[in-house]
Amino acid sequence: MDKIVKSDAEWRAQLSDLAYKVTRKHGTERAGTHEDFPKDAGTYMCVCCGAPLFEQDTKFESGTGWPSFYAPIDAEQVGESEDRKFFMKRTEVHCNRCEAHLGHVFPDGPAPTGLRYCINGVALTFEPEND
């Protein structure tokens, strides 16, 4: 995988203010503000570099207010790191291609993985499946 490296100024110029805050500064969008993705078959891509991250058929309604998936397309594409902010221990997930902060993964998801990738919608774009 080719790594994408850009300066802070280049990311600021490319991304919306909120996408920059979330993906480059490890922010979080308000719950319920980005659930307007189509329900059609397709792929969720990293807003920063376009890497394919999640498929529509792994998305589920978690009731959290953020898009949730039970598995990435390729585990090598979504990296993990420990997040100890706000007096909690969580597992942060990021795009391995460009290091964009995506959200967190929790062990309370549905079968078959039991995982819930709780992702900021602003960190994703949606590419519909071509028929």
Residues annotated as catalytic are 118
Write the single-letter amino acid at 81.
S
Element housing 105 (H / E):
strand 101-106
| Calpha distance 6→75 (Å, rounded) | 23
27 in Cβ contact with 21 (< 8 Å) = yes
